[in-house]
Amino acid sequence: MKILVLNSGSSSLKYQLIDMEQEKVIAKGNYERVGTKEAFLTHKIGEDKKVLNHPAMNHEEAIAFVIEQLTNKEYGVIQNLSDIGAVGHRVLHGGEKLSGSVLINEEVISIIEECIPLGPLHNPPALSGIRACQKLMPNVKMVAVFDTAFHQTIPEENYLYPIPYEYYTKHKIRKYGFHGTSHRYVSMRLEEFTGKKFSKVVTCHLGQGASLCAIKDGKSIDTSMGLTPTAGIVMCARSGDLDPSVVTYMMDTENLTTKQVIDILNKESGVYGMSGISKDFRDIEDEYQKGNKKAILAATRYDSTIAQYIARYAVELGGLDAIVFTGGVGENQFHTRERICNNLKFMGLEIDKEANMVRGEEKEISSANSKIKVYIIPTDEEMMIAKDTLSLVK
């Protein structure tokens, strides 16, 4: 079966068409500036890439044009829509009602709509993508896969905030966590790759956004992001955890609105805010190696915060068997991995420096003497979405 995986953003549409018999991506792409006449599509088939300027005023127009490329007589990879067996949609927030991937029906759509206040930037475009597919391919089954679902096993004492309980009962203010599809994928892939079962694992999804997850016997028991993706470790441009009074103090002293201060914490903070260098970790690492003091300050804070969360989760798990690095930074920045692991030497963790000098490979990087195993496992959220979709539509 061929499954189309869609990730609908506010002004973008990312997609992959995956042949599940071979578990192989046969086409993928990214539609940017959706909603404007300047929209353009980057469509890839293997190593071949086409950049197509084509207005798309909404997701329906964008998806229709993508289908045209997939079925194009000259370079298409399928003959017609009937070759698409199902569609898997990435959806940010399923709240407490959706604790796993589900076949999409009107009830599911209603729940996604209910969760818009919890995911105001992401749930609306996901709904647009779903509605567009319902019009364009009404007979094709669709599945929603939620970033929050994997974390629904987190116990109450870990997901509740130390604020009056009524805010949870009235407004569902709690930790939800994100990157769940990635954390689930790499924890499952870890067992496949090693042929071993690990009871106590911390997965580190480190990219532009970043989160850690404590996994016990295959289930999430805690994660660093919270009600929103702003919480947790220091990120590229997000602040991560901080004294809540910092927010009100900034608002009072700078006369900032709620939106302005939230934008600062999400778009101008983190290692970018501390260093003033770049929102690209590679640039910050380059400056770190040159001895730039602000780059060293920002990277040191980043590395130590991640190590602190790993140690904290070792307490929650009652020990630690393995650590997994994934995401753009986790998979590729070997200096970052080394510094994080060096902060955890007191736990008996030791990496093999030579083994660690890789980018984007599945590999063990801990030494033979290390008490904790350390691995790099490249994430594949689209494949996880496709697998969930296949299991529900069979």
SS3 at position 143: strand
Structure tokens at 283: 């640039």
Q: What is the pLDDT of residue 394?
A: 87
Q: What is the pLDDT of residue 123?
A: 94
Q: What type of residue is 129?
A: G
Mode of pairing for the β-strands spanning 322-326 and 200-206: parallel
* CA separation for the pair 268, 238 (Å, rounded): 7
* CA separation for the pair 106, 84 (Å, rounded): 22
290 vs 284, 286, 287, 310, CA distance in Å? 10, 6, 5, 28
With 0-12 / 13-18 / 19 or more C-beta atoms within 10 angstroms meaning exposed / middle / buried, residue 319 is exposed
Instruction: Give catalytic residues, as residue numbers.
Output: 147
Mode of pairing for the β-strands spanning 48-53 and 40-45: antiparallel
* CATH (domain of 25): 3.30.420.40
Contact (Cβ atoms closer than 8 angstroms) between residue 5 and residue 88: yes
pLDDT band at 276 (very low <50, low <70, confident <90, very high): very high
Model confidence, pTM: 0.94
Do 312 and 218 belong together in one domain?
Answer: yes
Is residue 308, in this structure, part of any structural domain at all? yes
| Owning domain of residue 209 | 196-376
Q: What is the pLDDT of residue 121?
A: 84
pLDDT digits (tens, 9 = 90+) for 282-321: 999 999 999 999 999 999 999 999 999 999 999 999 999 9
Q: What is the pLDDT of residue 343?
A: 98
Q: What is the pLDDT of residue 118?
A: 87
pLDDT digits (tens, 9 = 90+) for 208-223: 999 999 999 999 999 9
136 vs 1, 59, 65, 99, 217, CA distance in Å? 19, 11, 11, 28, 41
pLDDT digits (tens, 9 = 90+) for 92-114: 999 999 889 999 999 999 999 99
Do 360 and 298 belong together in one domain?
Answer: yes
Q: How many domains does the chain have?
A: 2
Is residue 228, in this structure, part of any structural domain at all? yes
Is residue 171, in this structure, part of any structural domain at all? no
SS3 at position 122: coil
Which residues, 6+ apart, have CB-to-CB distance to 81 below 8 Å? 67, 71, 136, 137, 140
Q: Of the candidates 146, 167, 184, which is a domain's last residue?
A: 146
* Mean pLDDT for all residues in the chain: 96
